[in-house]
Amino acid sequence: MVFADLMSSGTLTCQSQLRIPSSNQDFLSIINKIFVEKINSAASLYAETILGQLIALLFKSINSQNDILIDDKSTETHYLSNLMEEIKTSLK
């Protein structure tokens, strides 16, 4: 339960959210590339960068049109915004 503990601990102080409307790829195809844990229509990812920055992502399939909602938390705002932009670009 490392992911749940990390998400609720307050250690990750920066947060943002990204919604990708009607992605060209279905939810399962996307999370098969990146997921750590999948439960129903959500997948979570936890990582630590080589610089020691912690990041946690939660990918959720939110409706029948394949919209994806990505919640993220990290210890670094700048790193998090760059990562979300990379994800947004790669999933278009």
Residue 9 lies in a domain: no
Could you tell me the pTM of the whole model?
0.60
Residue 8 lies in a domain: no
- Separation of alpha carbons 4 and 41, rounded Å: 16
pLDDT at 44 over 70: yes
Write down the H helix ranges in the chain: 2-9, 27-34, 77-90
**Looking at residue 31, what DSSP letter applies?**
H
N-to-C CA span, the chain: 31
Domain of 58?
17-69
Residue 50 lies in a domain: yes
Total structural domains within the chain = 1
**Looking at residue 17, what DSSP letter applies?**
E
Higher pLDDT, 85 or 32: 85
Residue 75 lies in a domain: no
Residue 12 lies in a domain: no
